Structures are given as structure tokens and as C-alpha cells.
Amino acid sequence: MFHRLPRAAAGVALVFALAGCSSSATPAPTTAPTTAAMSGSVVMIPKQINNPYFDVAFKGAQSAATALGGTLTQVGPSAADATQQIPFIQTATTQGAKAIIVSADDANAIAPALKAAMAAGIKVVGYDSSPAVGAYNVFVNQADTAGIGKGLADMACDEAPSCTGEIAVLSAAQTATNQNAWIAAMQDTLKGSKYAGLVWDGVYYGNDDPTISTQQTQAMLAAHPNLKVIVAPTTVGIVAAAQVVTSQNLIGKVFVTGLGTPMGMQAFVKSGVSPEFALWNVTDLGYLAYAVAVDLVTGQIKGNPGDTFTVPSLNGGQPYTIGADSVVVLGPPFVFNTSNIDQYVASFGF
């Protein structure tokens, strides 16, 4: 995972790595069990089907299924609607699936259905977006919330000249729990003295819809003519914002950063609109979620805080430790910039 980075980004990566360190214990003798094989069906239910982000995670889970056994299928709603996820959870329950891997459109709406599944002996693994506490056995978090918040703040600081200027956030839906948590963490970080030069222009909500994200960015730029950095912690919003900045010929005057996919942002990194942005390894996220499901089904782990386990192809072989609320963190996010964007588009494939 070591790669050459410009000094500033290296600092950011180091911070991320330190933040992610809480999830991987100091190299311990491998008493942590490795994943054993399993048979049976596992059902993966993303927030939204046909969403490239989740399809990449699915591919990761598929390679885990090949390695670890079991049959994996993916089903889900066509819109990010929790009520549409419920029938799929219930069907998996009645069809006797061994495990359900789910990214919740709404933490509470699917909780009763998930609890019913757990009562029927099915293991529930959350990923990407957590179901309510108590409605899952383990939640695989892609990155530490505080770490993401700090990373967003640092990238904004990097892109604003001399860490000074107005910044604004383009988020997803107003009720999106992930984004709201990351933004709160970001605002916490911004209280530090290092960021004193940054002026907060507010949060705009793009609803993860390209049209609305575009309109919100246009309005944001019109309302704040001196805006320097747009922070978009959503893969749909960051692209829309970058596109608006490009079409308004603001390259070099307004910068965009946040969370985006390498392929979506490749052109903008190169054109200078978005010198750096971050994401995690989505393929690994799917792989880890599946591996955790297998471990739960075969009884290798119970899902309690303190449990440790290893997944051979992840984390450099280091064991994962399950933390409070049965959450396990995938690892530090990736920061993309001009020096590594092409390489990661090729290797990540998304």
C-alpha cells in the first residue's frame, strides 16, 4: 500500500492511516482464525441495484465467494428506497439463506425485517451504510468516520490557496446518515487553528441526483462568488460539481474535492479541477463483507467487540478487530491525485 505521494498528500495519507490503525491490532501471532470454507446461499442487498459503486462491491464479494465457498446473489430496489429493500430481506429469510449482506437505505426502516432474519438464524452483515444497532451481527464500515471527516477537511485545506478561502459542501440527501456524520466530523476538525483561514459557506443537498447536484452547484457558485473549494462527499455530487466548474470556466479559481470514483474523476484530476480526492477500495469492501459473513456462518467469529479474524488477501494479512457496536473498519481510504489516478483506474476498474 506504499506509493509515492507529494508531501502534502503524504501527510494526509499518514493521518488516514493513523486513523485507520485502530482497526488493525499490532502484529499479533496469528491466533486469529482464518476464514474456513462454507456452503449455502448468501444474498447481497445494496442500497440500489444497477449502481456502479455497489456493482463493484458485488464483484469483490463474488471473488470472495469463489475463494471461500457459498453461492452469492445480488438483488435490490431500483431506487434508494428502504421499503423496497424489505421484501428482498424477507424473501431471503423464507428461502433459507445463510447470510444477508445489506447496505441500508434507512437504518431503522429495515431493522424489523433484519431482526426477524436474525431470529431465524440468518447472519446479517451490514456494509457501506449501517442498519440500526441490534439489527446486524457485524457492520463493515468502509472507513472511520472521524478519519473521513478529517480527510475532507485536510483536502479542502490543501486545495484552498494557503489554506484560506471560502468552502462549501455539496452533500447527498438531507437525511443521509453517512454524509451527515462525515460532515459533522469535518466541521469538528475545522475548529482547529490550522483551518482558521477557511470560511464555511454552508451545506447544499444534491440528493445524489445529477440534475439536482448540478443545479445546487450552480446556485452555490452564484450565491458565493468568492467560493474557493467545493467539498462533495458523494460520488454523484463530486462529478456534477466538477462538471459545473469546468463548464463555467472556473478551473484554477474553484477547486473540487471529496469522495469520488477514480474513473468518474479521472478527467477532472487531469484538468486540474480536482487535484485530489479520496475513496476507499470498494472491491475490498465487498470482499471483506463476504468474508465476515462466512466467518459468522461457520462460527469462526461471533460478532462481538474484541473478536479478531484474518482475511488472507486483505489488510496485508494483518488481523481485523471488531470494535464497539460490532463495527469493523476496512482500512484507510485512498487519496487519488495526478500521480496515481491512471494506475488506479486501471487496477480498480471503477
Nearer to another protein, 43 or 314 (CB): 43
In whole angstroms, the minimum distance from the beta carbon of 301 to another protein comes to 28
Contact 327, 306 (CB under 8 A): no
* Chain length of the chain: 350
User: Of 109, 71, 116, which Cα lies nearest the Cα of 90?
Assistant: 116
In whole angstroms, the minimum distance from the beta carbon of 108 to another protein comes to 4
Burial of 50 (0-12, 13-18, 19+ CB in 10 A): exposed
In whole angstroms, the minimum distance from the beta carbon of 28 to another protein comes to 39
Order of all β-strands in the sheet with 41-45 = 71-74, 41-45, 99-102, 123-127, 138-141, 327-329
Nearer to another protein, 45 or 296 (CB): 45
**What is the Cα–Cα distance from 101 to 290, expressed in whole angstroms?**
7
Nearer to another protein, 261 or 310 (CB): 261
Contact 262, 283 (CB under 8 A): no
Label each residue of 85-131 as H, E or C: HHHHHHHHHHCCCCEEEECCCCCCCCHHHHHHHHHCCCEEEEECCCC
**What is the Cα–Cα distance from 218 to 223, expressed in whole angstroms?**
9
Site residues for another protein per CB under 8 A: 49-52, 55, 73-79, 81-84, 86-88, 90-91, 93-95, 106-112, 132, 173-175, 180, 202, 204-205, 209-211, 214-216, 218-223, 225, 236, 239-240, 243-244, 246-250, 261, 263-268, 345
Nearer to another protein, 112 or 323 (CB): 112
In whole angstroms, the minimum distance from the beta carbon of 222 to another protein comes to 4
In whole angstroms, the minimum distance from the beta carbon of 116 to another protein comes to 9
In whole angstroms, the minimum distance from the beta carbon of 180 to another protein comes to 7
Q: Position 80: which residue type?
A: A
Nearer to another protein, 12 or 104 (CB): 104
Nearer to another protein, 214 or 298 (CB): 214
